[in-house]
Structure 1
Amino acid sequence: MSLRLLFLLAFTTPVSAEIIAVPYSDLRLELSNTLTFETLPQRPEPGFNLDHPLRSAGAWVGEHFAGQSMAEVVATNGSPHDALGHAFGHRPLSVQPGLPNRNLSIAFHRGFGSNAILPLGPDGFDRVSGRGEGALAVVFDTDQMAVGFRVHTDYAAPLGNIPSSGDVRVHFFTRQGYPIETKVLTPGRGISEFGFRVTDGPILGGMVVTNTDPGGIAIDDILFQIDLMLF
């Protein structure tokens, strides 16, 4: 086999699966685990600044995956947001933190009535315009066939003018770092629930969530499956 063919095989994704939208309420009954953020005390925003990846039962949470690069985009209100640059991750997927004060925060969220995670954007932890404008990466311990999460958007309108909403993008990856598909979501104001299923079975190793919402986003109640080992 020629070196050229080996190179092409190494950098060409073999994934042909499709991600379809399914009701979050169905997955809540079907999947065994819900990733919440209640292990930390309830502290109002800005909450806790986390400069490192976060471990939870069955998953790691960070900003992006090793091998990926981050870029910046500007929302309709002029605030900078994180976006994926180079999307392919190293194999196997592993989460990486963002820069100090630009990774993740966890705070009590009045909209959810519980702790939620806010990905920190370019403006960082210390500014309101930085909380919720970042990227959130989740890698699961085992490959998934379905996942879901809840997201809160909030458009500050001190003068009565609600800015144009942005979108939420969910980038799905195999454990080998290949992109499967990117879903572009348009959540309403307040809490929205989203569920996804892979058509070809459990090949989903992780996901990265980015957004261009003017007020940023908070995420809670990530659904996925943990398979118990029987000995």
Structure 2
Amino acid sequence: MIRALLSGFILSAQSLTAGEVTQVDYADLAGQLPGLVDFEDFATLPEPGQPVPGPIIYSGLVIGAQLAGQTVRPVDGFDLLEGIPDLPLRSSLGDTDAALAVAYHAGFGSNAAFPLGPDGFSKRSGRGEGALALVFDNSVSAFGLKLHADYPDPLGSRPQPGTVTLTFYDQSGAEIAHHDLQPVHGVNAVGLLIAPPAKAITLTHRDPGGIAVDDIRYDQDSLGS
């Protein structure tokens, strides 16, 4: 049934050149993907919320701060991931106690996750400046998420959001592709088709206001493994 619902997206992904990532409408894609991480199973707490020890395990997905074997290098207050991941691919916290914090987010109107950066949970400058690593039980050809890049700024005095980079890995640990997002202030809904299917995805960014992530969507029935 899932494969029937996803058939149009699968055919689209299969038509991509190897190593290609194509952005599609999040709402259309999300309606076809049964895997959902919305962080609503955590207590609803105002910011700063709570640090969450991990890796965090969901059905078909494990979320950490990096892939095991990678190293985290702080650069200008952000986490940069380097190195070749170990096999089999696994999400890891590295040297941190928590990969992210979860809090009620006014921009989303619901719980959201803030990846923790070099300054950690205790400082505002650490919440939202970190990296994330997602490892799937089964490789995925379609993936979506919502991210918030700072808050709307009606006076126009805040800097523009920085680049968010998604890096995709196949099950051999080889990089499939990089995909750079240029978010706007507020909620950005992103749907992606990936070829070949991705076993793991890492997220790094350079957004001066920090990011929050919500409503991660993925397939739980392998589209390729």
Distance 2:121 2:214 in 1: 18
Residue matched to 1:48: 50
> What is the number of equivalent residue pairs in this alignment?
205
SS at match of 1:145: strand
Residue matched to 1:111: 107
C-alpha distance after superposition, 1:173-230 (max 9, x if no partner): 1122111111111110000011111234xx21011111111110000001101129xx
Gaps of 5+ in 2: 1-16
**Map of 1:84-123 to 2, 5 A cutoff?**
84-86=81-83, 88-100=84-96, 103-123=99-119
SS at match of 2:27: helix
Distance 1:183 1:73 in 2: 20
Gaps of 5+ in 1: 1-14, 75-79
Residue matched to 2:79: 82
- Note if 1:220 corresponds to 2:217: no
Residue matched to 1:68: 70
SS at match of 2:201: strand
TM-score, length basis structure 2: 0.85
Distance 1:44 1:175 in 2: 38
Distance 1:219 1:150 in 2: 6
Name segments (4+ residues, structure 1) moved above 4 Å. Answer: none
Identical counterparts, % of pairs: 39
- Note if 1:28 corresponds to 2:30: yes
Residue type at the aligned position of 1:129 = S
Contact 1:102 1:123 in 2 (8 A): no
Query: Pairwise CA RMSD of aligned residues?
Result: 2.0
More moved, 211-220 vs 45-54 = 45-54
Residue matched to 1:5: none
Cα–Cα, structure 1 residues 29 and 53, in superposed 2: closer, same or farther, change >3 Å?
same
Residue matched to 1:149: 145
Distance 1:199 1:30 in 2: 18
- Structure index of larger Rg: 1
Distance 1:98 1:116 in 2: 22
